[in-house]
Amino acid sequence: MDGRESVGRRYAEHLTDNDLLVLTGGRADQVAALRREPTLVLDLLERPGVADSIIRAQADEPERFRYVSPFLVFAAAVHRVGATLVGRSYVADRAGPRSRVPVFDAPALAAFATDPVHRLFLAELLASYARVMSGTVWRRTDRGGWRRQRWNELDLPRLAGLLDVVTPLEQPGIWRRIGDGALFLAGMFPEHAERALGMVEVARLQRATGLRLAAAGGQVSEMLEELAGRAYERAGSGVPRAVVESPRTARRVITLVADRYLFPVTIDWMPAS
């Protein structure tokens, strides 16, 4: 089984029959064909018209997104962003709140964003936060008693606190989610991350993970990128090597998805005088 076929099968595991019906433009007779040949799903998402029809709701379809899975929506967005990078010389990247600068490495970013494995990784990551998980665990205190400990997937210091609670076999899963959360916050909600991760929270995060983050005293987004890479190293298999080695590249694609589809940013580097 080649890489593209393996990725296609993973897509098929996420997609509902209604998702496939949307992909075929409502042709029910084609759904079974997509189930038999899931690589056809990748072919369809690479068509701009198909991907755009999934992402862009019409004024008379306010509830359309209720009938498709989050995975399909984010997969279409990732595919479209990757396609828009092909042939470009530069791409906008975040320099501050609603501020972007051109970075002249679009071919390298396009190569990353059009790789099927990377697209799958990003779509799964984004869709996984359609519903944020939280909960409570009990941990034994130094005095022998028990203390309730709350956690939330997007509260990274609290999430990292689970590393001392779970078994060694479960720790890779926590590290993976720490990496996912760091990339998601840096790419989708950087302003929120800057407010939520002050000096005290960053110190707690470093203490809970045991990591000395070189970027801890600088920009929160850079610290989160470093955290993602180091967390993924400890998560083991399941994360593409390119993401482990260059989490910033993955973060930049997520930022483009946010800028294009979730929180549109108007870029005008040559305003009229």
Domain boundary among 128, 151, 172: 128
Do 182 and 108 lie in one domain? The reply is: no
Q: 91-95, 131-135, 173-177: which has the highest mean pLDDT? A: 173-177
Kindly give, in sequence order, each residue whose CB lies less than 8 Å from that of residue 96, ignoring residues fewer than 6 positions away.
none
Domain boundary among 104, 128, 152: 128
Vertex 149: Cα angle to 147 and 220 (nearest 5) = 140
Give the total number of structural domains in the chain.
Answer: 2
**What CA–CA distance (Å, rounded) separates 220 from 190?**
8
Residue numbers of the domain that contains 82: 3-128
**pLDDT tens-digit series, residues 61-76:** 655 556 899 999 999 9
Residue recorded with tokens 């590393």: 163
pLDDT of residue 61: 60
Residue 77 belongs to a domain: yes
Do 159 and 187 lie in one domain? The reply is: yes
11-25, 103-117, 242-256, 258-272: least confident range? 258-272
Which tokens belong to 27? 């042709």
Residue 19 belongs to a domain: yes
**pLDDT tens-digit series, residues 188-229:** 999 999 999 999 999 999 999 999 999 998 999 999 999 999
Do 14 and 102 lie in one domain? The reply is: yes
Separation of first and last alpha carbons in the chain: 57
Do 122 and 10 lie in one domain? The reply is: yes
Is pLDDT above 60 for 268?
no
Whether this prediction's pTM lies above 0.85 is answered by yes
Q: Facing residues of 147 across strands?
A: 139
Residue 270 belongs to a domain: no
Residue 175 belongs to a domain: yes
pLDDT of residue 63: 59
Do 212 and 103 lie in one domain? The reply is: no
**pLDDT tens-digit series, residues 30-60:** 999 999 999 999 999 999 999 998 987 655 5
Do 108 and 150 lie in one domain? The reply is: no
Under the banding of pLDDT at 50, 70 and 90, the label for residue 148 is: confident
